[in-house]
Amino acid sequence: MQTHMAPAREKNDDNLTAMMRTFLFMDKENISSNKFHGLMQLQKQNGCPSLTDVIYTHSDTFEDMETALVQTTVDELNKIASSKFVGLIIDETINVITEKKLILFLRVLNNTVKTRTVFLGNHSVHSGMAECIVDKIKEVFKEWGIPLNKVIGLGSDGASVMTGIRNGVGVKLLTETETPFSIHVHCIAHRVAFASQDAANLPKKIADYRKTLNEVYKLYEYSATQYNPLRDLSKELSNTEFLTVKTTIDSEMAVPRSSC
């Protein structure tokens, strides 16, 4: 299969990506591998643009993909295991159904002492309390077979639940686990964002200017009656393309996230 896979990959990467997504869905839903061909054909009939030229639809392909995924996972775990130390990057978020989520990344060292980032998943948590976050970290590390005493760095957005000096996640990891040398780092991208926000609100002229722009935005935001005359006026006064009215926001993530 590998002999035929190389030219197929060069021909249509999107095709292979769509096939792999179908495989992952079937694997998560415990769907039998003999349904792979039928699902691929159904997607083609529904007009999936990435499956215009499906090459491999036999159930054996499903098994090959499964083997490749297992091997990739094992290789990833071996790389993590070979790293003497790891850094943990965490952030909280909320999905579209307002479910609390915890995103986890690892920074690991390879044999040449170069760092690489490993995604540990986007996990559901029932609350944003430090105890809940620490419990989830312990659970994920146990699933991946990673000793917590390997953690020597913790990166976060600097929220009090993360950086609290008494009950923050960083403190709890130090006191409740064997991570006595862990250093908590406030992500520089978030720090720059906060600095930008404070700087924008400090000068009175800039604050007044932003207030005026926001009031104009509120006037036109949800009113077609107000908005259409403004668009017509713009056409009469200028030949340039009409720009939509925007609200002013603080600059965020001015530094690439890779700096975390």
Among 53-57, 197-201, 235-239, the least confident range: 53-57
Strand-strand pairing, 86-94 and 100-109? antiparallel
Are 194 and 182 members of one domain? no
Given a cut of 60, whether residue 46 has pLDDT beyond it is yes
Question: What gap in Å lies between CA 54 and CA 22, rounded to an integer?
Answer: 12
Share of the chain above pLDDT 90, in %: 0
Structural domain tally of the chain? 3
154 in the same domain as 110: yes
Average pLDDT over residues 124-137: 87
Confidence at residue 127, expressed as pLDDT on a 0 to 100 scale:
82
Lowest mean pLDDT among 32-46, 159-173, 246-260: 246-260
Could you tell me if 15 and 65 lie in one domain?
Answer: yes
Type of residue at 119: F
Q: Final residue of a domain: which of 186, 217, 242?
A: 186
DSSP class of residue 34 equals: G
pLDDT at residue 245 tops 60 = yes
Give the pLDDT mean for 221-238. Answer: 77
| Sequence-separated (6 or more) residues with CB below 8 Å from residue 151 | 85, 86, 87, 88, 173, 177, 179, 182
Strands of the 183-186 sheet, one edge to the other: 115-124, 100-109, 86-94, 151-156, 183-186
Is 88 found in the same domain as 75?
no
Pair 61, 150 in one domain: no
Average of per-residue pLDDT values in the chain: 76
Please determine, for residue 257, whether its predicted confidence score (pLDDT) is greater than 50: no
Q: How far is CA 253 from the centre of its chain?
A: 14
**Strands, E, within 58-158: which ranges?**
86-94, 100-109, 115-124, 151-156
Residues 154, 244, single domain; the answer is: no
60-94 pLDDT tens trace: 677 777 777 777 777 777 777 778 888 888 888 87
Domain check: are 172 and 237 in the same one? no
Give the per-residue pLDDT at 3: 55
Q: Is 178 in the same domain as 198?
A: no
- pTM of the predicted model, to two decimals? 0.57
Select from 54, 79, 104 the last residue of a domain: 79
Where does a domain end: 137, 157, 186?
186
Mean of the pLDDT values across residues 129-140? 89
What residues make up the domain containing 135? 83-186
pLDDT given at position 32? 79
150 and 178 co-located in one domain: yes
36-49: average pLDDT: 81
Q: Are residues 150 and 223 in the same domain?
A: no
Per-residue pLDDT at 124 exceeds 70: yes
The enclosing domain of 166 has a CATH number of: 3.30.420.10
| Backbone torsions φ then ψ of 30, nearest 5 degrees | 55, 40
Give yes or no for residue 156 having a pLDDT over 80. yes
| pLDDT for 57 | 61
131 phi/psi in degrees, rounded to 5 = -60, -45
Predicted pLDDT at 211: 84
CA atoms within 13 A on the CB side of 166: 0
DSSP code per residue over 166-188: TTSHHHHHHHHSS-TT-EEEE-H
| Domain match, 132 and 173 both | yes
Q: Tell me: pLDDT of 110 over 80.
A: no
